[in-house]
Amino acid sequence: MSFKIPNNKKYAESHEWVEQPDDGGPSRVGITDFAQDELGDIVFAELPSEGDALTQGEEMGVVESIKAVSDIYSPVTGVVAQINESVFDEPELINDVPYGDGWLLAIEVESGADNLLSPEEYKEQIQ
């Protein structure tokens, strides 16, 4: 089975993705296609609040599928700028469009973006 790994994103070893917009605004963050597939049917997401300070590699929330609870880790250091509220009502978005409407939050990045994985490096990791 091959998993989508879009080229316009960077990746954390813990299976989160980060997309830095060209305009330098907050970066969107979500979990990867591989991660959503491993978890199976996602039924619940618990996310930090707007304004929370996050540290790269530290726990920032939880996604739960029918069969498992999985921590999600902040892929960068920064401040939460926005939460995607629609995943609270429709957590299946995370399964269906993990890189689209199933994004989780946007982070005003302060540091850490440099040590994320490239799509090629992430691909190697999950193989």
Partner 1 sequence: MSLRKPPLYKIHSDADPEFTDFGGWIMPIEFDGIRNEHSAVRNSVGIFDVSHMGEIKVSGMDATELMNRLTTNDVRELGPGGAQYSCILDDEGIIIDDTVVYRYPESDGYLFVPNAGHDEEMANHWSECAHNMGLSVSIENVTQDTGLFAVQGPEAMDTVEDAAANKLSDLSRFEAKQSEIAGINCLIARTGYTGEDGVEIFCPASGSESVWSEFQSVQPCGLGARDILRMEAGLLLSSQDFDPETEARTPIEAKLQFFVDLSKPDFVGQESLKTQQADGTEQKLIGLVLNERGIPRNGYEIHSEGGKIGHVTSGTLSPTLSEPIGIGYVDTKFSETGTEVEVLIRDRPVDATVVGHRFLDSLSKE
Shorter beta-carbon distance to partner 1: residue 13 or 38: 38
Q: Quick one: tokens of 79?
A: 């401040």
The Cα–Cα gap between 90 and 73 comes to 21
Site residues for partner 1, 83-112, by CB under 8 A, read: 88
Shorter beta-carbon distance to partner 1: residue 19 or 64: 64
DSSP H helical ranges for the chain: 33-39, 86-89, 92-96, 119-126
Determine, following the binding rule CB under 8 A, whether residue 41 of this chain makes contact with partner 1.
yes
Could you tell me if 109 and 10 are in contact, meaning their C-beta atoms sit under 8 angstroms apart?
A: no
Determine, following the binding rule CB under 8 A, whether residue 69 of this chain makes contact with partner 1.
yes
Residues that bind partner 1 (CB under 8 A): 40-41, 43-44, 46, 62, 64, 66-67, 69, 88
